[in-house]
Structure 1
């Protein structure tokens, strides 16, 4: 995984669950799907330092702030600077935390527990996979993210518990039939292609001014790979002339993906700002989408339809749980549309 154009490290990446597909709310804590509703009461008896009350638990503003800080560090979610957008962000964050607490309560009611050892084992897998087992790299990640290992383990524990809860709730979903797979294939035949892939080389620098300097150097005819080796901050690709290798659009941060997949082959694009700096790229090869036959698509479609059926069952169950919850918000944290799911950010 490259440091600068590919999406940031995710501590959930090795947890075998449905979670990454359904969990991408404003603070990456609770996308609950359509059909889930919050029972919201008028906040007329909350303490002045409270953001909300879920059942008999009062959540202080300081608790919500800490939760936002931790998840922002882990998932690289940026809080808006615009006052109105920030207020909306915090309301969505409060709603996300409310749903998270409801899920925690449901897991406990079903005696679902996760030991520290189990959480640590998952964390060890992440460190081994994404950081090549390098403890110093992991410690640097913690420092950069502004989180502690205890907070990382708590998040992993929460994810595992919810994954187990999901598995229990959806265990009775019928298996997808071949007839259903074939019907879906025929109805979506135009979409049955392998995604376009592009081989991209990338240079990343710290500031826009530096990016402009690099662009000027490239405009003089200097070889892209040579500039990447001398100027790119991405130590994992600089020695390879900035090569990211073949990537799909979904693997890239949205702003970078839009530029990279809209660029002509062999033409420099950028500067493009991502979470890790300012990028200049060049597309060196393009593999166009290729039609996929039913036989080749069957396994993927079976998984897709199974997930859809499980999600429907989960949302039906979750909707009942949330409707039964007594969620009360302070005025500044009451969502504009309490009945809607938390908004999902791009990327």
Structure 2
């Protein structure tokens, strides 16, 4: 049984709509985004004391340091969040961001109660049961396996249920807060230039890649390839990427937005047929070759109008949601201990992709060097 994949799937179970609706896209990361993503700044802060041994307080509810550590452990089980314990500076930032993420979740709980938003126990259980069945099968054995996996990573089924419920409640809040946002046809025509590139068909390149463990090895391979060595032969002999070794390093046609930024720049700046790199990423040192180019196709307003409406409406809802969360956080009576005070306590977490914390798997094909 693969613990990481099982729990990642359970995290996705928080909302059955995660892959298909606006709500799902923003929900999965709301409670944990502050742990792993950059956060926009504000300046407001009410300096008030919290009891000894507390990390933070929201109203009359106190979260002790032990409570916060326990919550982080559950988030680690659900989302793969890893505290950077080897780096004291990063760990300090992580601790402060963890406190802020928990504070935000508590504030949203309060707002949900004020607005009469909730999710029935049966619905939460049904959501979790569905994914346990899909991942582990039917019968008591599947649930036993599930409970064992949770125990292995230091959390419990009750804690997972609490997290799932919070995710679902946030989804309901998002719908309630943004339900009146609209987009007219005039809005679409005015906004089309800003979205045209996203809505067009991007240029693609037929790429091949070799990933090795050191820059010295990558430099040597790049020199051999530029000297005329056969790319596929070298890839089969040298790459540590198990997913592409058998294909001689072939990645197939890929657009720049499917690649990590540094690799994309190198790949798309290289003339067709030429070797590029080395480029380093978290998987190693990459040497690639750019092959056939498939030109992009500009977007046509009439052809993409429906998709444009979705994007504009989504972005407007996200903007309103962010403003609403900021206002809620400012009015939430949140106080932090000095060691847990975030840099910008009044600003809700933000990220490049709503609902997708930085560093979590994306739906696009993996960047070169992923291995397998």
User: Quick check: TM above 0.5?
Assistant: yes
Where does residue 118 of structure 1 map in the other structure?
A: 127
Where does residue 209 of structure 2 map in the other structure?
A: 202
Q: 2:30 and 2:286 mapped to 1: Cα distance?
A: 27
Q: Trace 1:262-277 onto structure 2 (pairs within 5 A).
A: 262-277=269-284
Where does residue 250 of structure 2 map in the other structure?
A: 243
Tell me, what secondary structure is at the counterpart of 2:242? Answer: coil
Q: CA deviation at 1:231?
A: 3.2
Where does residue 96 of structure 2 map in the other structure?
A: 91
Q: 1:316 and 1:33 mapped to 2: Cα distance?
A: 17
Where does residue 279 of structure 1 map in the other structure?
A: 286
Q: CA deviation at 1:315?
A: 3.5
**TM-score using structure 2 length:** 0.68
> How many residues are matched?
325
Q: Deviations over 1:70-98 (max 9, x none)?
A: 65673677849664454334323322232
| Cα pair distance change 1:35/1:228, threshold 3 Å | closer
Where does residue 56 of structure 1 map in the other structure?
A: 60
Where do 5+ consecutive residues of structure 1 fail to align? 1-8, 129-134
Q: Trace 1:241-320 onto structure 2 (pairs within 5 A).
A: 241-320=248-327
Cα contact 2:97–2:342 (8 A) shared by 1: yes
| Cα pair distance change 1:252/1:32, threshold 3 Å | closer
Q: CA deviation at 1:322?
A: 2.1
Q: Deviations over 1:253-282 (max 9, x none)?
A: 344334333434333333333333433322
Q: 1:253 and 1:247 mapped to 2: Cα distance?
A: 12
**Is 1:324 aligned to residue 328 of structure 2?**
no
Q: 1:123 and 1:202 mapped to 2: Cα distance?
A: 37
Q: CA deviation at 1:182?
A: 1.5
Tell me, what secondary structure is at the counterpart of 1:240? Answer: coil
1:17 paired residue among 13, 18, 21: 21
**TM-score using structure 1 length:** 0.72
Please give the root-mean-square deviation of Cα atoms over the aligned residues, in Å: 4.4
| Cα pair distance change 1:36/1:117, threshold 3 Å | farther
Where do 5+ consecutive residues of structure 2 fail to align? 1-7, 137-141, 353-357, 360-372
| Cα pair distance change 1:93/1:104, threshold 3 Å | same
Q: 1:27 and 1:121 mapped to 2: Cα distance?
A: 23
**Is 1:28 aligned to residue 33 of structure 2?**
yes
| Cα pair distance change 1:120/1:201, threshold 3 Å | farther
Bigger CA drift: 89-98 or 35-44?
Answer: 35-44
| Cα pair distance change 1:27/1:173, threshold 3 Å | closer
